[in-house]
Structure 1
Amino acid sequence: MHIIPVLDIKDGLVVRAHMGNRAAYRPIETPLSPTADILDVAQGLRQLYPFPAFYVAELDAIQQGLAAGALERLKPLVAVADVWLDAGFASLHQLEGVLTMDGVWPVLGSESQADTSVLGHLSGNPRLVLSLDFRGDEFVGPPALFENADLWPARVIVMTLRRVGSNAGPDFERLTEIKRRAGDRAVIAAGGIRHAADLEQLEALGISAALVATSLHNGSLSPEAISSLMNGNDSRTG
């Protein structure tokens, strides 16, 4: 079971996400870091465990487009870990440059797609990650993107936005169904993970990895538990 820490970025700072209500997100206050600067927070997380990958959501880019300098800001982080980057990618043009960057794995969020064309062109690319986004029971994005599992790339995130930061537990039922449809693809859980028991249950379901934030910052996942779950996997996730 891989644990991938989440860094949600808004106005250039790491914010604490809660149930997908992005307008209410505020800079994070965490015992792991003296500031909400992305590199400070990442360094604090890596004091818990030398995580080989981070998930970075550029929230301003998701809503307004990727700003100049956003990728440059990530270079020091890419120097120590892979970055799974969700920046509202919605066109092949936006992805061309990112797919050439060592250590950056672009995440194609379903909420940012107008149709299935981008995924159709790139589904075979080994570095592309698809995020299937849900608000409650509603899939956010073109229905065909969810319905046609043949389009899915090798890594699929199941993002349950209303469970993010909610301490409500993962959506085990939805994850079980998507894992069944995904076949041998890696399925990654996102939203609601509270403690080691949740991660152990996900692993038993065949889930490959989990995006985690709150339980790392509040201490629910200790360094010992993280190390045990990661099982010594210190190579870069990919």
Structure 2
Amino acid sequence: MRIIPVLDLKGGQVVRAEQGRRDRYRPIVTPLSGSADIVAVAEGLRSVHPFSTFYIADLDAIEGGIPNGEALARLTAATPGAPELWVDAGLADMAGFAAALATPSLCPVLGSESQKDAGALRRFRDRHDLILSLDFFAEGFRGPAELLDNAELWPNRVIVMTLAKVGSAAGPDFARLREIKARAGEREVIAAGGVRHETDLRELAGLGISAALVATSLHDGTLTGAQIAKLAMA
């Protein structure tokens, strides 16, 4: 079970997500960092465990605003070991994905909520560094129905993003993850939303989930470095 910490960016700062209600997101307050600066928070997270990958949601870009490119550049320059960055920046056009795919150490995330059709996924699905995020809000799936219904379009890595669970400490959406995994075949399925502790992660591993995106439990200390190390060795 691979643990991937999440950095939600808004206005140049890391914010604490709250069930997909982005108007409520505020700069994060965490014992792992003295500020909400992206480099400081990332360093704090790596004090828990030497994470090699970060997932970044550029919320300004996703909502059609100015991307947080400067913050991402600082993170890339400041983090030892050149971590792999999985970045959802609201990309929806061919040119944007092509440019992102050409950027070293960056894996672009094709978020279903940002897509108008399946064109970009059809063109780039065979790229090993492309990641699909199936985005579920409180009202259900958000994005073109074809992205959810046609599993043949899915790339090798698929995130099941249950935003209503994010920051809720309510546990992952096990039923949805089980259903998506059954359709995904040999593809990697990544859980996102609601992970509370080691027990949740072990249950996800039992379902064949290969990784989990985690934030709140790392900052709150309910998931520790020792537990992560043990899970990585299991």
TM-score class, shorter: over 0.9
Aligned CA distance change for structure 1 residues 103 and 166 (closer, same or farther; 3 Å): same
Match of 1:75 in 2: 76
| 1:8 partner amino acid | D
Match of 1:53 in 2: 53
Residue in 2 that maps onto 1:235:
none
Describe how 1:1-238 pairs up with structure 2 within 5 A. Answer: 1-65=1-65, 67=67, 69-70=69-70, 71-76=72-77, 77=79, 80-136=82-138, 138-231=140-233
Is the CA contact 1:9–1:57 (under 8 Å) kept in the aligned structure 2?
yes
**SS, match of residue 50 in structure 1:** coil
Report the more deviating stretch, 94-103 or 174-183: 94-103
Q: CA deviation at 1:136?
A: 2.9
- 2: CA distance, partners of 1:88 / 1:61: 6
Could you report, residue by residue, the CA deviation over 1:173-225 in whole angstroms, capped at 9, with x for unpaired residues? 00000000000000000000000000000000000000000000000011110
Quote the offset at 1:79 in angstroms.
5.0
Task: Name the CA distance, whole Å, in 2 between partners of 1:90 and 1:205.
Answer: 31
**5+ residue gaps, structure 1:** 233-238
Q: Note if contact 1:78-1:104 (Cα within 8 Å) is conserved in structure 2.
A: no
Give me the whole-angstrom Cα distance separating, in 2, the residues matched to 1:227 and 1:69: 32
* 1:56-99 deviation per Cα after TM superposition (whole angstroms, max 9, x unaligned): 00000000155373453442248531100000010111112211
Moved more, 222-231 or 32-41: 222-231
Query: 1:236 maps to what in 2?
Result: none
Whether the 8 Å contact between 1:65 and 1:87 is mirrored in structure 2 is no
| Count of matched residue pairs | 232
Cα offset for 1:113? Answer: 0.2
What is the TM-score with the length of structure 1 in the denominator?
0.94
TM-score, scaled to structure 2: 0.96
**Distance of 1:114 and 1:126 partners within structure 2:** 23
Secondary structure of the equivalent of 1:181?
Answer: helix
- Give the superposition deviation at 1:42: 0.3
Cα distance change, pair 78–140 in 1 and its aligned pair in 2 (3 A): farther
> Separation in 2 of the partners of 1:30 and 1:197?
23
Q: Which amino acid aligns with 1:58?
A: D
The one-character-per-residue Cα deviations of 1:26-61 (angstroms, maximum 9, x if unpaired) are: 000000001100000000000111001000000000
**Secondary structure of the corresponding residue to residue 63 of structure 2:** helix
RMSD: 1.4
Percent identity of the aligned residues?
55
Q: 1:231: Cα distance to partner?
A: 1.8
Q: Deviations over 1:3-37 (max 9, x none)?
A: 00000000000000010001110000000001100
